[in-house]
Amino acid sequence: MPLTLRTLNVSFKKCNAFKTSTALSGLLLFAGFNISQANALPAPVQALADQGWEIHGQFDAPGGLSGFGASAQGQEIAIYLTPDGEHAIVGTLTDHQGENLTEAQLDQHVRAVLEAETWQLLEDSHWIQDGSTEAPRVIYTFTDANCPYCQAFWKKTRPWVEAGEVQLRHIMVGILAPDSPAKAATLLAADDPSAALKRHEEGEAITASAQPRDIEEQVYTNNQLFDALGLYATPTSAFQREVASGVVRIDRIQGMPEAAQLLELMGSPAPETQ
């Protein structure tokens, strides 16, 4: 079967970690795992890694080529090593019918890898538990204490949270008002952050006060994560879904979800209340 390689004109752009609907529009790249750290790469591929390209995985390719999934500043890239091991070609591999043979490899060896790393970054951020830790569905949501839509979102999610079906993890950020960072730090530093957040979402005012440096740093790093993901609104919620291939992917909904989006986010219709 004859194969052609259509060259790719790589244009670098700022990344977005999530797409508003059901697929990612970009990737988080500041924590990418580079396989060159663990295994020696062929010289042409190593040369690209030395230029700052992240090499995420290797895959089999037709025509005697070896494929490598890579990324650079938000651009997903496939690298094909020639059989002699002396040259690397950056591009999209197509067959005699013009079918793109690269897209599926990028999905598996770049996007899925980076999305898993993004989920780990969310897990490692500084958040407040909302709901049972045993709830099967985990949703990370960026929350600002001055955000009325965050409060509305909290109220909308009560049926799932109180039924033990969903747990929200509120990544506290301070971005909307001058006192937002202080309020976020006050909630994170509370003796019982979950109870303090609940009281706030139910209408209790927060009396912001100075907090230890490490707590203030938690808010700062949460803000950095929010910016790095290319987000612009609170609440923004991230959740996982399993695609047909069995691979787990990340989706997000930015802003207050509409009715259909809320069902997608929660993963089921609202449970019946007793």
Give the list of residues 6+ apart from residue 220 with CB closer than 8 angstroms, or none. 181
Contact 237/33 with Cβ under 8 angstroms?
A: no
pLDDT higher than 50, residue 209: yes
pLDDT higher than 50, residue 53: yes
- What is the percent of the chain with per-residue pLDDT over 90, rounded to a whole number? 61
Confidence of residue 11 (pLDDT cuts 50, 70, 90): very low
Average pLDDT over residues 158-163: 97
**The two three-digit tokens of residue 60, written as one number:** 């089999």
Confidence of residue 44 (pLDDT cuts 50, 70, 90): very high
Contact 176/146 with Cβ under 8 angstroms?
A: yes
Q: For 25-39, 148-162, 234-248, which range has the lowest pLDDT when averaged over its residues?
A: 25-39
Q: How far is CA 246 from the centre of its chain?
A: 18
Q: In angstroms, rounded to a whole number, what is the distance separating the alpha carbons of residues 161 and 131? A: 5
pLDDT higher than 90, residue 223: yes
Q: In angstroms, rounded to a whole number, what is the distance separating the alpha carbons of residues 207 and 183? A: 7
- What is residue 6's predicted lDDT score, i.e. its pLDDT? 36
If you search the block for the tokens 């994560």, which residue do you land on?
225
Average pLDDT over residues 47-55: 92
Q: In angstroms, rounded to a whole number, what is the distance separating the alpha carbons of residues 131 and 166? A: 7
Q: In angstroms, rounded to a whole number, what is the distance separating the alpha carbons of residues 60 and 242? A: 24
Helix or strand or coil: residue 102? coil
Q: In angstroms, rounded to a whole number, what is the distance separating the alpha carbons of residues 136 and 257? A: 21
If you search the block for the tokens 């599926």, which residue do you land on?
104
Domains in the chain: ranges and CATH: 3-122 (3.10.450.70), 126-266 (3.40.30.10)
If you search the block for the tokens 């194969």, which residue do you land on?
3
- What is residue 162's predicted lDDT score, i.e. its pLDDT? 97
Average pLDDT over residues 122-132: 97
DSSP code per residue over 56-93: EEEEE-STT-EEEEEEETTEEEEEEE-TTSS-EEEEEE
* Prediction pTM value: 0.74
Confidence of residue 10 (pLDDT cuts 50, 70, 90): very low
For residue 41, the tally of other CB atoms under 10 A from its CB is 21
Query: How many residues are given for the chain?
Result: 274
* pLDDT tens digits for range 187-207: 999 999 999 999 999 999 998
DSSP code per residue over 192-226: SHHHHHHHHHTTPPP------HHHHHHHHHHHHHH
**The two three-digit tokens of residue 64, written as one number:** 């005697």
Contact 123/171 with Cβ under 8 angstroms?
A: no
* pLDDT tens digits for range 167-183: 999 999 999 999 999 99
Average pLDDT over residues 43-61: 91
Phi, psi of 268 (to 5 degrees): -170, 165
Q: Is the dihedral of CA 187, 188, 191, 197 positive or negative?
A: positive
